[in-house]
Structure 1
Amino acid sequence: MTATTPETSHPTLDTWAVVVPTVGRPSLRLLLDSLVATLPLGSGSEPSPLPEVVVVDDRPVPASPQPAEVPPPLDLGQAGARLHTEVVRTGGRGPAAARNAGWRSTRATWVVFLDDDVEVPRHWAAGLASDLAAAGPGVGGVQGNLDVPLPESRRPTDAERNTAALEGAAWATADMAYRRRALEDVGGFDERFPRAYREDADLALRVRDAGWRLVRGVRRTTHPPRPSDGAASLRAQVGARDDALMRALHGRRWRERAATGSGRLPWHVATVGTAALAVTAAAAGRRRTAAVGAGVWAGLTADFLARRLVPGPRPGDRGFGTEVWRMAWTSVAIPFAAVGHRAAGSLARRGGVEPWPPPISAVLLDRDGTLVHDVPYNGDPTRVEPLEDVLDQLDVLRARGVRLGVVSNQSGVARGVLTRAQVQAVNDHVEKLLGPFDTWQVCVHAPQDGCWCRKPAPGLVQAAATALGVEPWRCAVVGDIGSDVAAGIAAGAETVLVPTAVTRRDEVDDAPVVAPDLAAAVRYLEPRLSTSGTSRRTSAGQEGAR
């Protein structure tokens, strides 16, 4: 039932793929150029097989699905064409969601995750091949070694030191190869981590808990320091919300297990607490207590500032004054931001958190070829004929309390062969025959419109999830062609392909899960269906249903 690439004991170049999430930074082209330069060529005039490269465009897209509002295509340069690069658009859902869409879009045995601001040096591909060949059957992931070049003429800034810390970080996805089976075992990255923070540590812990080993390889990757503005370190404190999620998922000792270090939160709490004491005491007229609180706060703040300044540039170095000012005001603000974000994160998780992946609470189905026989550009309700056993399976889902939706491309409207009223009439008749659906999402644009809603773009799936009040990762998409699967993957949903006579062979080969009919698709989804719902409404007795 599941279509996957068979695993081999000795990986070669055609069994690994590269996934690069990006928000369109210029460094993406540098990475692709360096990737081309490191790939070996075969003997004579025949090149060695190139890996599949999936660039996941995670630039935000406005809520409205109008074609003009979709960001223009990424500029991948000549390297993108030489690498046979595929671009998947996810619309700004974060790096965890982008990486999931990337690895689920390829059938490779191994998936190598690279950040868009790294550069791979010469012999990187050869080193990767050695790493994968050395990985035994119990190895689920192989980490690359990161080199962060720091300035030689001065001491590094705070931002540069933060990037340099990646050299010792465990399982950083700046260069991390995961075995596909390991990713499938744990459901990939947890998309509840919306930032480039802790999502890699969470994945590593779950992969290890699933019985896989993670090791370091021999390959090396260059990670230049990231450009940053004066408020970057302050904005980074939002990661404290992700720390709260890590604790909820992995317990009090998660830092020890993930090798992230002890963190500075206790000191930040003390700093905020003494500031609050000083303000409260002053308001109550207790001057001595207020002075003590203010003094302790000043001492803690000065200590924090010194710890950030001492390793940095010296007087006379270029940019020293700017660095001092930046460290001074952010050292005052960071403790308050960190404590506030951690409190907000803990409050959001106070009722507990489900393990990843969470249950499926909604199933979204394509219309033509999945629910009813495909009649091209059908505007006549009398020609609607449900596929065999579809109503029974829909009622199974309804009885489980699963929300149902339809996501359908209807380009006949844009082509001038259908009207919106005709599409609506056909949809109404489908409901008459198959029972009520909780949401209908229809794209009436033509392929050349470049809209965000037309499958394989994820807009219809995302809109359906929003209408149902569920997250996309709690949805499953069932359809009969590759664009249905691609839309579901890009949106973050589970996907099942139910082929028909019009489904291309390559679409079947590329689909993560293939079922012979809707009944088999429902059986596949059944273990993950939410059990919190109750029997709602069924369509027994609908005209012509059975």
Structure 2
Amino acid sequence: MGRPELDRCVAALAAATGPAPEVVVVVDDRPGTPDPLPLHVPPELAARTLVLATGGGGPAGARNMGWRAVPPAVGWIAFLDDDVEVSPTWRADLVADLRAAGPDVGAVQGRLDVPLPRDRRPTDWERGTRGLADAAWATADMAYRRDVLVETGGFDPRFRRAFREDADLALRSEEAGWILTRGDRRTRHPVRPTDRWVSVRVQAGNADDVLMTRLHGGDWYRRAAAPRGRRRLHMALTALAVVAGVAAPAGRRRVAIAAAAGWLVGTVEFAAARIRPGPRDRHEVTTMIATSVLIPPAATAHWLRGQWRHRGVGPTGVRPKAVLFDRDGTLVRDVPYNDQPDKVEPMPGAVEAVRMLRAAGIRTAVVSNQSGVGRGLISPEALRRVNARVDAVFGPFEVWECCVHRPEDDCPCRKPRPGLIEDAARRLGVRPDECVVIGDIGADVAAARAAGARSVLVPTDTTRAGELAGARVAGDLGDAVRLVLRGLR
């Protein structure tokens, strides 16, 4: 964002002991400014640092741009906010945290230290910032496996503020079967200076809470270990103020007095609860009194805004633009090195599954390893005849991409490498991250992730148990397509 804290963050990262990062991506999310980001990169990181600009898309979009710019070979992506300072041993500690993570661990959170003043009680704003030390899955210091980010699609850009986008991603990661843990690395998160009205502005987060409820159900607070706050009391105080304001001009004196008295008692209790643990100096007391009057209507207004804005949102993800199918074992029964079109037999329910996708306007293609050609076991013409028979059974697929190389040829296209997925996406005119790959073995999943595409695994008798770890699994092709149509949620 270009705040002064950014230079301190990068300097601390450069000074930390431990292996150097493969790449440091700094995303400039300032809205509508042509000026270059004011950033001093220490020489230790200069050659490894990439600066990108979003034009002001919000933190979720900025983080997505950042992790997608990291080379696919990098297996873990560590996110840092620009106002934190990593510890002197942070890089070494991060490596230790990631080495300790089992194959089913999808993310490892760092430990945040929020320094508070020692010569006085903390202010309301300082206490609020201190809550980050206990927050679950705060992206101020959070490392995710690249596979998790690919499979979940990363951060949801509908969260336009730096609020709840990290909890949303964490819950979606857990729903996909990954475990999230805390590591031992430590990061300092100083309390940022602000003005006295910040507590009123942060009530905008009530609209994000509405989106979280729409996406994850009413119990998301418990699952995300997030405090509920006082929204119900805020709504009650706002309702009392409205009743008093309406009843007085209407001549309903008793109703107006009762409502005003209830509002006054509730507001005094709210202000007192905020003043009591603080420094109680004149500035803090007057700030708490003034903002305690404004917070309830602000919270209620933002909650109502969220209800309207997100009224059509449900627990669905984002549909892909294209689905890329593996052929043998996924669309048709696996006949090793098949060169006979009459041996093409669709998997149970496969024809209807493909039809469902096409009816929904999702494009279809096939990506298949066919090393029998390279081995001399089938001819290129026989492969074309078999593929033509598949098109006749299912209806023509828009794109076919087949790798005819042997495993020892070390080609870039053979799955689990990403070449087939990248080539098919390019020919379809879509990005790999707008595709879903459906296959029956781990190589299909690995190729999708290497290309930045999502995937669904439909196991068969040949699928090894270890290939299920971290994969999105469906019982059959019909279930896989229904997952796709729900946006993989």
How far the C-alpha of 1:76 sits from its partner, in A, is 2.5
Structure 1 counterpart of 2:148, from 168, 179, 182: 182
How far apart, in 2, do the equivalents of 1:202 and 1:53 lie? Answer: 24
CA pair 350-293 structure 1, distance change in 2 beyond 3 A? same
Structure 1 counterpart of 2:243, from 277, 302, 306: 277
One-letter amino acid of the structure 1 residue matched with residue 302 of structure 2: H
CA distances 1:171-215 after superposition (whole Å, capped 9, x unpaired): 000001111111111110001000000000000000000000000
How far apart, in 1, do the equivalents of 2:282 and 2:43 lie? Answer: 40
Q: Which residue does 2:475 correspond to in 1?
A: none
Structure 1 range deviating more: 350-359 or 513-522: 513-522
How far the C-alpha of 1:302 sits from its partner, in A, is 0.7
CA pair 37-513 structure 1, distance change in 2 beyond 3 A? farther
How far the C-alpha of 1:153 sits from its partner, in A, is 0.6
How far the C-alpha of 1:402 sits from its partner, in A, is 8.9
SS in 2 for 1:215: strand
Q: Which residue does 1:228 correspond to in 2?
A: 194
How far apart, in 1, do the equivalents of 2:118 and 2:420 lie? Answer: 48
How far the C-alpha of 1:230 sits from its partner, in A, is 1.5
SS in 2 for 1:283: coil
Contact 1:112 1:178 in 2 (8 A): yes
How far the C-alpha of 1:277 sits from its partner, in A, is 1.6
How far the C-alpha of 1:401 sits from its partner, in A, is 6.5
**Structure with the larger RCO, 1 or 2 (CA within 8 Å, 6+ apart):** 1
SS in 1 for 2:93: helix
One-letter amino acid of the structure 1 residue matched with residue 39 of structure 2: D
Contact 1:242 1:345 in 2 (8 A): yes
Q: Does 1:36 align with 2:2?
A: no
How far apart, in 2, do the equivalents of 1:518 and 1:144 lie? Answer: 38
Contact 2:114 2:189 in 1 (8 A): yes
Q: Report matched runs for 1:113-124 at 5 Å.
A: 113-124=79-90
Q: Report matched runs for 1:438-449 at 5 Å.
A: none
Contact 1:36 1:83 in 2 (8 A): no
How far the C-alpha of 1:77 sits from its partner, in A, is 3.8
Structure 2 counterpart of 1:59, from 18, 21, 30: 30
CA pair 146-531 structure 1, distance change in 2 beyond 3 A? closer
How far the C-alpha of 1:78 sits from its partner, in A, is 2.7
One-letter amino acid of the structure 2 residue matched with residue 167 of structure 1: A
Q: Which runs of 4+ in 1 moved over 6 A?
A: 397-403, 509-513, 528-532
SS in 2 for 1:142: strand
How far apart, in 2, do the equivalents of 1:146 and 1:73 lie? Answer: 26
How far apart, in 2, do the equivalents of 1:291 and 1:128 lie? Answer: 60
How far apart, in 1, do the equivalents of 2:286 and 2:250 lie? Answer: 33
How far the C-alpha of 1:360 sits from its partner, in A, is 4.6
Q: Which residue does 1:353 correspond to in 2?
A: 314
CA pair 176-81 structure 1, distance change in 2 beyond 3 A? closer
How far the C-alpha of 1:354 sits from its partner, in A, is 5.9
User: Percent identity of the aligned residues?
Assistant: 49
CA distances 1:514-537 after superposition (whole Å, capped 9, x unpaired): 2167446669656599989xxxxx
The normalised TM-score by structure 2 is: 0.67
Contact 2:425 2:431 in 1 (8 A): no
CA distances 1:205-245 after superposition (whole Å, capped 9, x unpaired): 00000000000111111000111112111111111110000
CA distances 1:357-404 after superposition (whole Å, capped 9, x unpaired): 35559xxxxxxxxxxxxxxxxxxxxxxxxxxxxxxxxxxx9998699x
How far the C-alpha of 1:288 sits from its partner, in A, is 1.4
How far apart, in 1, do the equivalents of 2:111 and 2:94 lie? Answer: 11
Q: Does 1:72 align with 2:8?
A: no
CA pair 75-312 structure 1, distance change in 2 beyond 3 A? same
Unaligned runs of 5+ in 1: 1-22, 41-47, 62-68, 315-319, 362-396, 404-508, 533-546
CA distances 1:410-450 after superposition (whole Å, capped 9, x unpaired): xxxxxxxxxxxxxxxxxxxxxxxxxxxxxxxxxxxxxxxxx
How far the C-alpha of 1:278 sits from its partner, in A, is 1.2
CA distances 1:258-317 after superposition (whole Å, capped 9, x unpaired): 110122100101111111121122122111111111011011111111111111113xxx
CA pair 70-140 structure 1, distance change in 2 beyond 3 A? same
Pairwise CA RMSD: 3.0
How far apart, in 2, do the equivalents of 1:161 and 1:512 lie? Answer: 52
Count matched residues: 352
Q: Which residue does 2:54 correspond to in 1?
A: 90
SS in 2 for 1:162: helix
Structure 1 range deviating more: 29-38 or 283-292: 283-292
Contact 1:244 1:346 in 2 (8 A): yes
How far the C-alpha of 1:352 sits from its partner, in A, is 3.0
The normalised TM-score by structure 1 is: 0.60
Contact 1:96 1:189 in 2 (8 A): yes
Q: Which residue does 1:412 correspond to in 2?
A: none
How far apart, in 2, do the equivalents of 1:92 and 1:53 lie? Answer: 20
Q: Which residue does 2:287 correspond to in 1?
A: 326
CA distances 1:329-372 after superposition (whole Å, capped 9, x unpaired): 111001001000101101222233362335559xxxxxxxxxxx
Q: Does 1:27 align with 2:5?
A: yes
Contact 1:159 1:226 in 2 (8 A): no
How far apart, in 1, do the equivalents of 2:181 and 2:232 lie? Answer: 32
Q: Report matched runs for 1:357-506 at 5 Å.
A: 357-360=318-321
How far apart, in 1, do the equivalents of 2:358 and 2:236 lie? Answer: 52
